[in-house]
Amino acid sequence: MIRKIHYFSGLTISVFVALHLCNHVWSIAGAEQHIELMNTLRLLYRNPLVEILLLTAVFVQILSGINLWRRTRKTMTKDFEKLHIYTGLYLAFFLFIHVSAVLGGRFYLKLDTNFYFGVAGLNTFPTNLFFIPYYSFAILAFFGHVASIHSKKMKRSLLGLTPRQQSIFILIVGFFLTILILYGLTNKFNGVIIPPAYKVLTGK
């Protein structure tokens, strides 16, 4: 039962994550374009009912994931099984911190948690020493988790690729997407200037 709950909460979160990552890829076009697309997507996920559903799914995903890890950590021996565990643990850590930060930014700091909220730490030294790997590992962990699930559930070849090769392809896509997103979100490449209101996030 708990596996099914974890699976469906994961699917719910994955829909949002896919939209969120597409939004971040769009940052290559510039901060204004990123915010414009985010405002459009917010019509969906900032709907109170959808937002409550997403927050509930995150809460359920974290708790059920930790429970499943405690049950299976000693029996997982294959590489993709181990990847499933390690990426799931990192995602649980990331989701807890990230969602808490966004809610804190909205309701305590009274900030619009838009593009600048997300990139303030990425574009300021020394906080970027934490946030660059923090966000990078999150994207890689998401694709790693998807790849490990795909490896387990996929039973046939597709486009000449075995299930294992398909999962490796998913990992490769995740790696290049991570680079692409960081390219768009950092001022080293994109000329991002952090507005004064958001500098409270980095102590500058």
Task: Please give the pLDDT value at position 182.
Answer: 93
How far is it, in rounded angstroms, from Cα 118 to Cα 106? 12
* Sequence letter at residue 195: P
Q: How many C-beta atoms lie closer than 10 Å to residue 26's C-beta?
A: 18
Classify 158 as helix, strand or coil. strand
**pLDDT top residue among 171 and 150:** 171
Using CA atoms, how far residue 139 sits from 115, 132, 154, 181, in Å, is 17, 11, 22, 9
pLDDT over threshold 90, residue 164: no
Percent of the chain predicted with pLDDT > 90: 62
Range of lowest pLDDT (16-20, 23-27, 44-48, 76-80): 76-80
Cβ atoms of residues 30 and 191 within 8 Å: no
Task: Please give the pLDDT value at position 191.
Answer: 67
Kindly indicate the confidence band of residue 187, based on its pLDDT and cuts at 50, 70 and 90. low
pLDDT over threshold 80, residue 60: yes
How far is it, in rounded angstroms, from Cα 194 to Cα 128? 13
**Residue 203, CB-side half-sphere exposure with 13 Å CA sphere:** 4
Of the candidates 90, 40, 37, 21, which has an alpha carbon nearest to the alpha carbon of residue 62?
Answer: 90
pTM: 0.92
Bridge partners, 158 (sequence order):
161
Kindly indicate the confidence band of residue 2, based on its pLDDT and cuts at 50, 70 and 90. confident
Helix, strand, coil shares, percent, the chain, to 5 = 80, 0, 20
- Measured at the alpha carbon of residue 67, what is the angle toward residues 63 and 69, in degrees to the nearest 5? 115
**Mean pLDDT comparison of 3-7, 72-76, 154-158, 169-173, highest-scoring range:** 169-173
Q: Please return the burial class of 91, using the count of CB atoms within 10 Å of its CB with bins 0-12, 13-18 and 19+.
A: buried
| Phi, psi angles (nearest 5°) of residue 156 | -140, 165
Residues 6+ apart with CB under 8 A from 89: 65, 66, 69
Task: Please give the pLDDT value at position 154.
Answer: 79
DSSP state of 42: H
How far is it, in rounded angstroms, from Cα 202 to Cα 167? 37
pLDDT over threshold 90, residue 199: no
